[in-house]
Amino acid sequence: MAASHNPRSGTLFIIAVPIGNPDDLTLRARETLRGVAVIAAEDTRHFATLAQHHGIDTKAVSYHDHNEEARTRELVQRLTGGDDVALVSDAGTPLVSDPGYRLVRAAIEAGITITSLPGASAVTTALAASGLPPHPFRFIGFLPRTAAARRATLKANAHDDATLVAFEAPRRLTHALRDALATLGDRPACLARNLTKPHERYQRGRLSGLIAQLEAEGEVRGECTLIIGGATEPTGVSAEAEADARLLLDHSAPARAVQELLMARHGVSKRDAYALVLRLRDR
């Protein structure tokens, strides 16, 4: 049970910061960051660049995965002593994919006032321009690093009709798309890259098409938010067609030959044939 409010305590401000363009910081956020006693930042060096841009000279202390427990105790002590504290992440809204949940819970238990200042979020920014249904949507955070865990996460959401939103590192992006194609099928998707930065780019299409684009691109760079369409009605691939494809692949038939057979014998579209072969081959 949460403690009752302490009227003499400070306030914990959860403040969204820009995801790329420093001018996306709100006026309210800037003035609050200037007025608090201390700023808890995921990376103080990273935050220093934003602070300099906006003339913020408030002291910043690090708050990340490796010092979260000890720093939480320290910050709660300051808050209960009357200091106002701001929590920021490297980019976007704190807690969405960064540390901070432990501090918020501890502040609630200590009866400290908490307020969240809205602002930039890669999740909603990417979703709004993706061209995919914005509601319902499900944010699944950063995809796991290993292929097995990544596929398990995607499989767990395979029957959800909500649009899926995830973060992925550029070096794993092509692998993640292949895993998505294998587990979800060839769904419509969007890659939102370098949001609000000079090289901002949206790539829209089917998963198979986006994979081909990234393979042609070579080395993939830039932060990316991945949006994938939700589950829809089953494709026209029959059980007989899938059984034929499975048998041929089990006997080491070339993937292209299997795709052509599915198209010629079973009337499967080129897109669905490609997705089926990839899913069965990588199972």
* Lowest-pLDDT choice from 139-143, 154-158, 204-208, 219-223: 219-223
In a domain, 3, yes or no: no
Q: Which residue has the higher pLDDT, 159 or 113?
A: 113
pLDDT band at 4 (very low <50, low <70, confident <90, very high): low
Rounded Cα–Cα distance for residues 268 and 274 (Å): 10
Which of the two residues, 279 and 204, has the higher pLDDT score?
A: 204
233 lies in a domain? Answer: no
Q: What is the pLDDT of residue 8?
A: 81
Q: 1 in a domain, yes or no? A: no
Percentage of the residues of the chain whose pLDDT score is greater than 90: 74
Question: Do 251 and 216 belong to one domain?
Answer: no
- Cα 235 to Cα 53, 194, 241, 271, 276, distances in angstroms: 51, 33, 12, 10, 10
Domain endpoint, select from 95, 120, 145: 120
pLDDT at 97 over 80: no
For residues 33 and 76, membership in a common domain is answered with: yes
Q: Facing residues of 107 across strands?
A: none
In this predicted structure, what is the pLDDT of residue 250?
A: 87
Q: Give yes or no: residues 177 and 268 share one domain.
A: no
In a domain, 174, yes or no: yes
Q: Which of 120, 150, 178 is the last residue of a domain?
A: 120
Query: How many domains, in total, are found in the chain?
Result: 3
* 269 compared with 202, residue with greater pLDDT: 202
Q: Is the pLDDT of residue 149 over 60?
A: yes
Please tell me the predicted confidence (pLDDT) of residue 243: 85
Predicted confidence (pLDDT) per residue in 179-211, tens digit: 999 999 999 999 999 999 999 999 999 999 999
16 in Cβ contact with 120 (< 8 Å) = yes
Domain shared by 169 and 217, yes or no: yes
191 and 254 share one domain: no
DSSP letter assigned to residue 191:
E
Average pLDDT, the chain: 92
Shared domain for 137 and 208, answered yes or no, is: yes
Per-residue pLDDT, 3: 60
The Cα–Cα gap between 125 and 131 comes to: 12
Residue 234 lies in a domain: no
Kindly give the residue spans of alpha helices, DSSP state H, lying in 19-146: 27-35, 44-54, 68-80, 101-109, 122-130
Instruction: Tell me, yes or no, whether 251 lies in a domain.
Output: yes
User: In this structure, are 264 and 174 located in the same domain?
Assistant: no
* pLDDT of 217 over the 80 cut: yes
Query: pTM, whole model, 2 decimals?
Result: 0.79
46-60, 119-133, 215-229, 264-278: lowest mean pLDDT where?
264-278
> Last residue of a domain, which of 71, 98, 120?
120
In the prediction, which pLDDT does 5 show?
66
Domain that includes residue 195, residue range? 123-228
Residue 60 · residue 47 · CB < 8 Å: yes
CATH number at residue 85: 3.40.1010.10
| pLDDT bucket at 234, cuts 50 / 70 / 90 | low
Question: Strand, coil or helix: what is 228?
Answer: strand
pLDDT digits (tens, 9 = 90+) for 101-146: 999 999 999 999 999 999 999 999 999 999 999 989 999 999 999 9
CATH of residue 184's domain is 3.30.950.10
Cα(132)–Cα(202) distance, integer angstroms: 12
